[in-house]
Structure 1
Amino acid sequence: MDKIAVLGAGSWGTALSIVLADNGNKVHLWTHKQAQAEEINELHRNERYLDVDLPENIVGFSDLPKAITNVKAIVMVVPTKAIREVSQQLNSILDSRIPIIHASKGIEPGTLKRVSQMLGEELELYNAEDIVVLSGPSHAEEVALRHPTTVTVASLNKENAKVAQELFINEAFRVYTSTDVLGIELGGALKNIIAIGAGISDGLGYGDNAKAALMTRGLAEIARLGTKLGADPLSFLGLSGVGDLIVTCTSVHSRNWRAGNLLGKGHNLDEVLEEMGMVVEGVRTVKAAYQFAEEENVEMPITTGIYQVLFEHQKPKDVVEQLMSRSKREEMDDIAHLLYERYTN
């Protein structure tokens, strides 16, 4: 039985631990909270995050060195704001290179670094090219119940991507591979912005027409920025693009949708974050994407509008009116054009 360390015992880290445990691995699930580790070991539960019984081959740890002792691979599922800190702790423990897979979705404000880039900067034994990203339409609640789920693992190191695929793939959890790390990471991070917008739309009482438009035009924004940065536009039509966008914008399982829904109902950002009680990655990502759009001179009106709601205290309804009154333009000037330019030149 191989040992796999999963760093981060939130809902997503716990769900991925279940997948790994189902595949016959002994999972070392690390949390910085000792009481949480004890709950995992004594009750085989992680009640705050998932309402399921955990397999007995998932073992909780609050001691990081012990959690990664003799493991075959490390899966990083900590919030993006903790990536650098945990990586620095790993430097004093790791003495050999083992595959590192991350399943965190976000961009660091200020530096505009993706998670694989942060890991490559902080981990002394690794380059960003060695890191594997796991992303796709995958609510933790459904993965934990073994509902059919499909994701992508991406890395420039094809051997590491294959290792990740073999670790996770089973009858309920299908895994594809890709080498477009940039596109897969950006799709997974930026869709959280659009999910906040979808929640705002629902909170305002708008219907399916508004949400469909928001998702479609949001995908165009994601592809516009991603392609400008060098990603393959086809990635945004795949699992970590349109697939993740659909599931995150249309489900009450989505933290980002729930946060947006509260904003649409009139709550301010501080109230929303207090009510949620968990990390809402899209809030940080809005800051980063807004900065990206300005620096790269990429038009992202939906992202800009959500930034105004979150950080400039604009009323959601006023932002919607601004978006609806923008100047006239053709529709097929975004993804279709990007694909045409990419594959006909």
Structure 2
Amino acid sequence: MTKATVMGSGSWGTAFAAVMADAGTDVTMWSRRPELAEAIETTRVNDDYLPSLRLPDRVHVTSDVAEAMDGSDILVLAVPSQTLRENLEGWREHLPDGAPLVSLMKGIELGTLKRMTEVMEEVAEVPADRVVVVSGPNLAKEVADKQPAAAVVAASRHGVRSKVAEACAAPYFRPYTNADVVGTEIAGAVKNVIALSVGMAHGLGMGENSTATLLTRGLAETARLGVALGADPHTFLGLAGVGDMMATCSSRLSRNHQFGLALSEGKTVEEITAATNQTAEGVKSCRSILELARSVHVDMPIVEGVHAILHEGWTPDEMVRALMSRSRKSERV
């Protein structure tokens, strides 16, 4: 019997723990806060993040790192992307030998500009063929409600991605495999920033034409960056690319979309952050994605505009004017 550990008890970590349990995998979920771990273990419900989901009996919850990782065959990391390095450094002595390390995170590390799997390889000192990415149109609330969904399990080694896919193949959750780790990660990180722009557009009263334009040009920006970093262009036409972009940008269940809506109302980043206990990854990763793009000479005007709003004092209206006044060019450039 496969045993998996999910490090993190936020919305997606909790939902994915349930997915793995429903796929027949024994799961231990780690929570940073002992009181939350005890409450979930006792009530079987994570009231802080997914109160509608009753966790299967196969899921055990603890705040003890050593207990969580003991005997694990698959280690799933579901913490905020900008905390990954610090967390892994603290967990290193407990990491299970030989287990694949699976990233549910969607971000680019500030300062180093590394993808999450690159941070995992560096800090955990594991080879590239042991790291895995799970990504796709996977809004946690819908997955928790067992609505049919699919995802991409990306890893360079066939046996590793197949092992992880089997461990999360629940009746309502269909994993597809892919060898393109770079493309899968870039798609997951950038779509959060594009979702911020779509949320702002909706908040300003813009309709479907504006949304479709941002989605399409946002996907073009994402693919340009991914290809410059060595990704397979086809990845951006699949679940990890256009699929995740559509779900995250269009749904009001998306934290990044909601953050964008609040920005359009004139609220500051600090005010919005204080009002929620969940992470909008696009807010923190926006800067590192833009720096990464500039390092490989890739033009990303939507990402630049969102960055200007978050960090340079622009208003959403100013971003719209800047995008619409850009010089004309071929669509495929």
Structure-1 residue corresponding to 2:310: 310
Q: Which amino acid aligns with 2:146?
A: R
Other structure's SS at 1:107 match: coil
Q: Partner residue of 1:54?
A: 55
- Tell me whether 1:189 sits opposite 2:196 in the alignment: no
- Taking the aligned partners of 1:99 and 1:121, their CA distance within structure 2 comes to 14
Tell whether 2:245 aligns with 1:245: yes
Q: Which 4+ residue blocks in structure 1 deviate beyond 6 angstroms?
A: none
Distance in 2 between residues matched to 1:43 and 1:163, nearest whole Å: 31
Residue identity in the other structure for 2:255:
R
Cα deviation, residue 87, structure 1: 1.6
Tell me what 1:127 maps to.
127
How many residues are matched?
Answer: 332
**CA distance in 2: counterparts of 1:24 and 1:245, whole angstroms:** 29
Aligned partners of 2:276, 2:260: CA distance in 1, in Å?
A: 11
Q: Which amino acid aligns with 2:120?
A: L
| Alpha-carbon distance, 1:99 to partner | 1.7
Aligned partner of 1:170 in structure 2 is: 170
Structure 2 match to 1:343: none
AA at the equivalent of 1:251: S
Query: Could you tell me how far 1:21 is from its partner in structure 2?
Result: 1.1
Corresponding residue for residue 227 of structure 2: 227
Structure 2 unpaired stretches of 5+: none
CA distance in 2, matches of 1:320, 1:327: 14
Q: Which residue of 2 aligns with 1:18?
A: 18
2-side partners of 1:233 and 1:292: how far apart?
Answer: 18
1:292-303 to 2 correspondences below 5 Å: 292-303=292-303
Cα RMSD for the two superposed structures: 1.2
Contact 1:190–1:222, Cα closer than 8 Å, also in 2: yes
- Partner residue in 1 for 2:137: 137
Specify whether residues 95 and 76 from structure 1 end up closer, same or farther in structure 2 by C-alpha distance, changes over 3 A only: closer
What is the distance in 2 between the residues matched to 1:13 and 1:293?
29
Task: Give the equivalent residue in structure 2 for 1:265.
Answer: 265
2:180 is aligned with what amino acid? D
Identity percentage of aligned residues: 40
Alignment match, 1:86: 87
Deviation at 1:50, TM superposition (A): 0.5
- Compute the displacement of 1:230 (Å): 1.0
- 1:202-213 matches, within 5 Å, as 202-213=202-213
Contact 2:99 2:130 in 1 (8 A): no
**What 5-or-longer segments of structure 1 have no aligned partner?**
335-345
Q: TM-score, normalised by structure 2?
A: 0.97
Deviates more, 1:81-90 or 1:137-146: 81-90
> CA 1:95 to 1:227, structure 2 compared with 1: closer, same or farther past 3 Å?
closer
Is 1:4 equivalent to 2:4 in the alignment?
yes
Question: What is the CA distance between 1:95 and its match in structure 2?
Answer: 5.6
